[in-house]
Structure 1
Amino acid sequence: MSTPLETRHLRGLGRPVSAIGAGCWTIGGPATNQGVPIGWDRADSGRALAGLLHAHELGVTLYDTADVYGLGHSERLLGRLLSRVPRHEVVISSKVGYFASAAHPYAAEQMGRQLERALANLGTDYLDLYFFHSTDFGEGDQYLPGAVKQMRAFVEHGLVRAVGMRAPHTFALEWATGPSHDRRAHEAARFLRLYEEIRPDVLIVRYNLLSPLYGPDETDVFDFADSQGVGVIIKQALGQGVLLGTHHPDRIRAFGHGDHRRQDPMFTPKALREVYDGLASVRERYGATVPDLARVALRYALARDPEAPVLVGFRDAEQINTTITSLGEPLTADEITGLHQSLAPLRDAFAARMAKRHAP
């Protein structure tokens, strides 16, 4: 008999969810939005549905999708799961704010259409969580007040149970008081301004072995969320597969027109080599197989916040099974400290790469 999947009490939503959630971006398949690749190659609908069903069998209760994941295809696949399981047993999260439209993704009427379409795709009459997927609210944030008003109306009418918002990949509360020309200060201050306007119930943030560490006098997004009484969901704990060694630098893949990785700097030969070499100490200490590395990456993320669930992407039943059954025992405090120390050069290189990507 398999060990029951751990649960966590997600603040902001006020209910337990599985510690591992199913991230449904990968099953949406290839897609473009205004000419930009936003999807994933080689997605098979039958295998993806089998993965969703197996995730539920393994105890996964949190499923995260978005209207742009496969331009609705991910939601429709998830709807097929919902037609087979009791709705109250699962937490469904979707997002709005990227889908191309005539006016703007956050125009109130567009948001209404997207939610109506999402509910139809999913075959449900409500969402447990609805995220502001983008922080682009138009020039001068002209669509922000209307978007917040529309989201609150969704909640008042029972169409949405809780509201979510994405957090910056790097953030410390104290940065917001820095000089206005400093990029970190600008991004932190903007996040705080949007947070105050939106007042979300849950934040979603990227956090993995490559995420920066913060000093004792810095308040990161997890501590900030805790102080505000809001929940956190962790995404990209596996680095989109890069932290599992499945993208070997000596076996570079060619990605199709609708696969976002063709434009993602993390999937260039140089970046993949950098990560692969930087993880040598992890492979030596914990093993080099996918389950070995998945356990380290997931347990590292799960250790950051005892109430934050972690989303994992998958394509089929085998992948979701490997991920969940690889969890094993939690990492010790000494092991986490060791990972902090041994991966410091790789974290610094990754941070420099991201800073260069966002430089003016």
Structure 2
Amino acid sequence: MCTNLETRHLRGLGRSVSALGAGCWTIGGPATNRGVPIGWDHVDSGRAFAGLLHAHDLGVTLYDTADVYGLGRSERLLGRLLSLVRRSDLVISSKVGYLASAAHPYADGQMRRQLECTLANLGTNYLDVYFFHSTDFGEGDQYLPGAIKQMRALVEHGLVRAVGMRAPHTFALEWATGPSHERCTHEAARFLHLYEEIRPDVLTVRHNLLSPLYTPDETDVFDLAESQGVGVIIKQALGQGVLLGTHCPDRMRAFRQGDHRRQDPMFTPEALHEVHHGLASVREHFGEAVSDLARVALRYALARDPAAPVLVGFRDAEQINTTITSLGEALTTAEITWLHQLLAPLRDAFTARMAKSHAPCPSVRRLPSGMGAPTIKE
């Protein structure tokens, strides 16, 4: 195994991991969950497994999957890798709470049964991090206390090393705890309530070139986590490929039934056209190649928190090679500032577009305890 890949110390878990981790959502292939497309089409399991092997050869030690990714296919592919390598060298995370089942995913005993299935798929007897994948804990959060109790029991029995939780795409502590704010406070207050109840060890959050910036007096997810010794894993640094220029608005792809992009507002012709033209100066300055744009996107994400690893998705060995080997030199402070300023119009347009895809949320100071929320896509 190559050891040249940078490493980071993941707070909350207390383990050193590769700075770039393998996000295994993509390799699960097409899937639907309660009729909703949640997967990726055009995935060949043989080529996907070759990608996993190549990631390991390149020094990747962090692998993130979920029970719902390909309805178990992603976990089973990762299990094939684990059968060939030393388990203790790798950090494996999976998730629970989103997969449709007869009972509510967080109902009494359901998490333990789902974990048993996940461990069987992976061929391991423990997870390094187990994430609450959904914030839907039933009507009035009726399953929340039991879910927390179940998770703590899994930790006590050594089946789980650290507890994970998803953070919202936009968050500032002040939005949830202060007076009515211009920005939407509903999701921020909901997250803070669950965060205080669950007390996770690790958070996962989307952060990329199009993520909103925060003012010096705002405490975002990274600041909150650092202040409390909680780890952060960054996802969607490449914008699901959109930031790599691989989705040309003039040659739109047709996504099949089990591909989540059929319903993702980021993959509409208007959005792709917006991003393509908004990144013109970035391509002109850093280069047109996929590897050039990957370096910018990944280095930008890695610069946010020196302890936070970044997940990259892939379908095959070629894709994982392009991203993992593209890092090069870190971006300078001047380059990051230039990107902040250059992409401000695109960032605002993207934030507005994503906001329109969700129901508007009221401006409230704090949600009543137990108020439910719908499941949110990756």
- In the alignment, the residues of structure 2 paired with residue 2 and residue 12 of structure 1 have an alpha-carbon distance, to the nearest angstrom, of 26
Moved over 4 A (4+): 178-183
1:190 Cα deviation (Å)?
1.3
1:126 corresponding residue in structure 2: 126
| CA RMSD of superposed structures (Å) | 1.4
1:312 corresponding residue in structure 2: 312
- 1:165 maps to a residue whose letter is M
1:148 Cα deviation (Å)?
0.4
Q: Would you say 1:235 and 2:268 are equivalent positions?
A: no
- In the alignment, the residues of structure 2 paired with residue 179 and residue 66 of structure 1 have an alpha-carbon distance, to the nearest angstrom, of 37
Q: Deviations over 1:164-191 (max 9, x none)?
A: 0000100001011355797721211111
Closer, same or farther: CA 159–2 of 1 in aligned 2, 3 Å: closer
The answer to whether the Cα contact below 8 Å between 2:17 and 2:91 also exists between their aligned partners in 1 is: yes
1:55 corresponding residue in structure 2: 55
2:27 corresponding residue in structure 1: 27
1:141 Cα deviation (Å)?
0.7
TM-score between the two structures when normalised by the length of structure 1: 0.98
- In the alignment, the residues of structure 2 paired with residue 3 and residue 87 of structure 1 have an alpha-carbon distance, to the nearest angstrom, of 17
The answer to whether the Cα contact below 8 Å between 1:179 and 1:185 also exists between their aligned partners in 2 is: no
Closer, same or farther: CA 54–138 of 1 in aligned 2, 3 Å: same
- In the alignment, the residues of structure 1 paired with residue 144 and residue 49 of structure 2 have an alpha-carbon distance, to the nearest angstrom, of 36
The answer to whether the Cα contact below 8 Å between 1:167 and 1:191 also exists between their aligned partners in 2 is: yes
Q: Which has the higher helix share?
A: 1
Closer, same or farther: CA 89–3 of 1 in aligned 2, 3 Å: closer
1:351 Cα deviation (Å)?
0.9
The answer to whether the Cα contact below 8 Å between 2:125 and 2:159 also exists between their aligned partners in 1 is: yes
TM-score between the two structures when normalised by the length of structure 2: 0.93
1:2 Cα deviation (Å)?
7.5
The answer to whether the Cα contact below 8 Å between 1:18 and 1:61 also exists between their aligned partners in 2 is: yes
The answer to whether the Cα contact below 8 Å between 1:101 and 1:110 also exists between their aligned partners in 2 is: no
The answer to whether the Cα contact below 8 Å between 1:176 and 1:184 also exists between their aligned partners in 2 is: no
- 2:208 maps to a residue whose letter is N
Q: Deviations over 1:232-287 (max 9, x none)?
A: 00000000000000011001000010000000000000000001011011001001
1:359 corresponding residue in structure 2: 359
How many residues were matched structurally? 360
For residue 55 of structure 1, give the secondary structure of its aligned residue in structure 2: helix
- In the alignment, the residues of structure 2 paired with residue 2 and residue 226 of structure 1 have an alpha-carbon distance, to the nearest angstrom, of 30
1:359 Cα deviation (Å)?
3.2
- In the alignment, the residues of structure 2 paired with residue 354 and residue 100 of structure 1 have an alpha-carbon distance, to the nearest angstrom, of 25
The answer to whether the Cα contact below 8 Å between 1:173 and 1:218 also exists between their aligned partners in 2 is: yes
Q: Deviations over 1:144-176 (max 9, x none)?
A: 000000000000000000000000100001011
The answer to whether the Cα contact below 8 Å between 2:2 and 2:57 also exists between their aligned partners in 1 is: no
1:83 corresponding residue in structure 2: 83
Q: Would you say 1:215 and 2:215 are equivalent positions?
A: yes
- 1:267 maps to a residue whose letter is F
- In the alignment, the residues of structure 1 paired with residue 210 and residue 59 of structure 2 have an alpha-carbon distance, to the nearest angstrom, of 28
The answer to whether the Cα contact below 8 Å between 2:167 and 2:221 also exists between their aligned partners in 1 is: yes
- In the alignment, the residues of structure 1 paired with residue 216 and residue 15 of structure 2 have an alpha-carbon distance, to the nearest angstrom, of 31
* 5+ long unaligned stretches in structure 1: none
Percent identity of paired positions between Structure 1 and Structure 2: 85
1:289 Cα deviation (Å)?
0.9
1:159 corresponding residue in structure 2: 159
The answer to whether the Cα contact below 8 Å between 2:51 and 2:315 also exists between their aligned partners in 1 is: yes
- In the alignment, the residues of structure 2 paired with residue 150 and residue 30 of structure 1 have an alpha-carbon distance, to the nearest angstrom, of 30
* 5+ long unaligned stretches in structure 2: 361-378
The answer to whether the Cα contact below 8 Å between 1:175 and 1:185 also exists between their aligned partners in 2 is: yes
- 1:106 maps to a residue whose letter is Y
2:95 corresponding residue in structure 1: 95
- 2:268 maps to a residue whose letter is T
1:108 Cα deviation (Å)?
2.7
1:341 corresponding residue in structure 2: 341
1:103 Cα deviation (Å)?
2.4
1:97 Cα deviation (Å)?
0.5
- 1:108 maps to a residue whose letter is D
1:278 corresponding residue in structure 2: 278
For residue 113 of structure 1, give the secondary structure of its aligned residue in structure 2: helix
- In the alignment, the residues of structure 1 paired with residue 202 and residue 311 of structure 2 have an alpha-carbon distance, to the nearest angstrom, of 14
- 1:168 maps to a residue whose letter is P
Closer, same or farther: CA 279–89 of 1 in aligned 2, 3 Å: same
- In the alignment, the residues of structure 2 paired with residue 24 and residue 351 of structure 1 have an alpha-carbon distance, to the nearest angstrom, of 26
1:257 corresponding residue in structure 2: 257
For residue 16 of structure 2, give the secondary structure of its aligned residue in structure 1: strand
